[in-house]
Structure 1
Amino acid sequence: MYNYIEHGKGATAVSTHQEDPEKYAEFMERIEAGEKIEADDWMPDEYRQTLIKLISMHGISEIMGALPEKEWVPKAPSLKRKLGIMAKVQDEMGHGQLLLRVAEDLMAPYGKDREDIMQDLLRGDLKFHNVFHMATKSWADAGLIGWLVDGAAIITQTNMLDASYGPYQRALQRICAEEVFHAQHGEAIIMALAEGTEEQKAMLQDALNRWWPALLMFFGPPTAETTGSSKQEATIKYRIRKSTNEGLRQAYLDKYLPRIFSLGLTVPDETIHYDEEKKKWIYQQPDWNEFKQIISNNGPRSQARLRLRKIAHENSAWVREALATPVVTA
């Protein structure tokens, strides 16, 4: 993502823990004591930048994540299903707006705001979750997004419910509560298909086969060496989250594989099994080179969804301009 320290208007005022070791030590003491950091508190730039990247990506992923399901609003099989998926799309957009406001406060010292985040997305500088680059070929795909993609999001986000940054932690409290309903919405679709006709069961299995690698990729590579990124380590160091990418993935497999198997479904991995001695799932790693291609906007539906987002942003420019225009009173 765009580096606001290097390019932001406040670049000359940047302080790091090397430049101010006393403030950094006090900051880390607060973190380790479980205190919450607020938007107007002093914080090291590594912490601020880590939060900006994480929360911006999270917020944009909520917005871009509404698009695959939006495609199925007019094609949902009943009025009840249409209303359910429309409500979910509305919730996801609301989550995105909430998170971008949190990110905006963090960007203020660099003279940046939400418009800069959106422009970063449209330029290709800001990544969004790999799963939202994927095609939704059937109604089963819409169900899987609600059940297994939102299930992955719940695993990730509940791991940050005690995040050290107060505004993000409070936003997550609301978001996670609503995501539980989203997962139940998806599970209801999956259960109906799993208990349906042979054609519906086959459609569900096909969807799971296609989505399985993307679901494993959701949590990110197991080690920083895979991508050369240290974001995983920074978020843990600053107590923004507790678990590693692999720890989150194992928790996800613990929760969802038994449920998947109980429905008579299989996953496209003949090697997958639980190692009782190591107390973890052994599975075939997804193609992390493909992952990097996808999140670089070279996924199956990356460009189409970015075009749709760009058109929507351009078409709504007059609304933003109207809201920004001061009201003149006599």
Structure 2
Amino acid sequence: MTISPSLSSMTEEEKYQRFMERIEAGEKIEADDWMPDDYRMALIKLISMHGISEIMGALPEKEWVPKAPTLRRKLGIMAKVQDEMGHGQLLLRVAEDLMKPLGKNREDIMQDLFSGDLKFHNVFHMEAPTWGDAGLIGWLVDGAAIITQTNMLHASYGPYARALQRICAEEVFHAQHGESIILALAEGTEEQKAMIQDAIDRWWPSLLMFFGPASAATTGSSKQDITIKYKIRNKTNEELRQQFFDKYIPRMLSLGLKLPDPTMYYDKEAEKWVYQDPDWNEFKKIIRGGGPKSKSRLRLREIAYENNSWVREALS
């Protein structure tokens, strides 16, 4: 029987080799395990962004709680907002464990958000002016989130993979909630049908951007390559976007909706959808705080953080 040497007796290169052997074998890395610095930093950035996006993503739907058309819809969207906030808190707790060895905590995450160093998802910088938008967020935005998150259900980092098990299960209900709103509108008046089409037309570029650029060269970021290398996820941005098209374009067309991109078609030989690339410069502008609702939603989050400082003080 071969006895593995202890980590203390290994060189950094040997530790790295052992780490890669573990993730190649499908083992889960835990918070107290040795990990390469770039793996830790990639996880902190990804999970912090995911957690904050869950919290910021509750804000456009929160705006519709008092305006939902029926009591049943009001209760449904209230429950969804509550779930999203819970997802955010769970993920920030996972991120905190990764940050402890660096001497950082949740306070640092929030300050990074307020300073602009921590970004949140591009879709949650956008406006939701109609009930059609509220339905579309649940149907297509949460649908896109499910595709992205299920791609990481078997992530090499154990705490994140386990958190995603619960989050993905609840996101399925969120997508069904949104689809229910959309189907009700699609079966309604011409004005209600037009409301869905208008929402899709406005949200289409954001939905394309949701999965990120096809290559790192587009934005100068290598996050996609690092997360695949370390088996945090297993599909590329473009593979996820194509999976979204395969699932939702037939559903959109079955409701009599038109694709916002009239040049879009399915290439049977290449077995993929051909589409017009979104403006990735606009994407960078949005996530840096230049979206329609970026400043107001960040300020709302900052006010809530300031107003509840007494709770943190009492707990500490």
TM-score bucket of the superposed structures, by smaller chain: over 0.9
Q: 1-side partners of 2:75 and 2:293: how far apart? A: 25
Residue 265 of structure 1: how far off its partner (Å): 0.3
Q: 1-side partners of 2:308 and 2:258: how far apart? A: 44
- Equivalent position of 2:108 in the other structure: 116
- Equivalent position of 2:191 in the other structure: 199
Q: 1-side partners of 2:103 and 2:295: how far apart? A: 29
Gaps of 5+ in 2: 1-10
Query: For 1:172-251, what aligned pairs fall within 5 Å after superposition?
Result: 172-251=164-243
Q: Residue 29 of structure 2 is aligned with which of 28, 37, 47?
A: 37
Tell me how many residue pairs correspond in the alignment.
306
- Equivalent position of 2:279 in the other structure: 287
SS for the counterpart of 2:266 is strand
- Large movers: runs of 4+ above 4 Å: none
Structure 1 position 154 matched with structure 2 position 143: no
Residue 270 of structure 1: how far off its partner (Å): 1.1
Structure 1 position 53 matched with structure 2 position 45: yes
Residue 268 of structure 1: how far off its partner (Å): 1.2
- Equivalent position of 2:99 in the other structure: 107
Q: Which amino acid aligns with 2:168?
A: C
Residue 267 of structure 1: how far off its partner (Å): 1.7
Q: 1-side partners of 2:20 and 2:84: how far apart? A: 33
Normalized against structure 2, the TM-score is what?
0.96
1:15-52: CA deviation from partner (whole Å, max 9, x where unpaired)? xxxx7110000000001000000000000000000000
Q: Which amino acid aligns with 1:220?
A: G
Q: Residue 253 of structure 1 is aligned with which of 220, 245, 256?
A: 245
Report % sequence identity: 79
- Equivalent position of 2:130 in the other structure: 138
SS for the counterpart of 1:180 is helix
1:244-269: CA deviation from partner (whole Å, max 9, x where unpaired)? 00010000000000000000001211
Q: 1-side partners of 2:281 and 2:258: how far apart? A: 25
Q: 2-side partners of 1:41 and 1:203: how far apart? A: 51
SS for the counterpart of 1:55 is helix
SS for the counterpart of 2:220 is coil
Q: 2-side partners of 1:293 and 1:320: how far apart? A: 33
RMSD: 0.6
Q: 1-side partners of 2:146 and 2:281: how far apart? A: 26
Q: 1-side partners of 2:75 and 2:263: how far apart? A: 40
Q: Residue 303 of structure 1 is aligned with which of 295, 298, 304?
A: 295
Residue 191 of structure 1: how far off its partner (Å): 0.2
Structure 1 position 80 matched with structure 2 position 72: yes
Structure 1 position 68 matched with structure 2 position 51: no
SS for the counterpart of 1:274 is strand
Residue 308 of structure 1: how far off its partner (Å): 0.3
Normalized against structure 1, the TM-score is what?
0.92
